[in-house]
Amino acid sequence: MPIKWSAAKVSEAMDEVESQVKLAEAFLIEAKAKAQAARKIPDLPQYIDQRLVHVIGDIERIDRVKDSIEAVRKDIPDGAIEAEREAGKHGSTASLM
């Protein structure tokens, strides 16, 4: 049974999302390093250190975003993108059903 949504467009969107995440990743790595350096400030109160640990943990969640992108890709039915592209080669026609 063919799907009614565009698997190719979803795949392309995930490529674009992944590209943006990769651009952000370098900045997040730098932000994490700066937060880790802040934890080494002398006489830092424990409550501030805990907040910095939380910031570092939030930054590390970028891996969850990558996992979510991969989950979307895995949910695209096998062969749907190829079938859609193949159908596009022959032009679009209205379905009789």
Query: Cα–Cα distance between 4 and 49 in angstroms, integer?
Result: 51
pLDDT of residue 93: 54
pLDDT of residue 10: 96
Residue with tokens 């379905």: 95
pLDDT of residue 97: 47
Query: Of 58, 61, 26, nearest to 50 (Cα)?
Result: 58
Q: Break the chain into its structural domains and give their ranges.
A: 7-85
For residue 94, the Cα-to-chain-centroid distance in whole angstroms is 35
- The series of mean pLDDT values per 10 residues for the chain, 97 residues long, is 86 96 94 98 98 96 92 94 83 54
pTM of the model: 0.71
pLDDT of residue 62: 87
pLDDT of residue 3: 79
Answer whether 4's CB lies under 8 Å from 62's CB.
no
Q: Residue 31, exposed/middle/buried by CB under 10 A (0-12, 13-18, 19+)?
A: middle
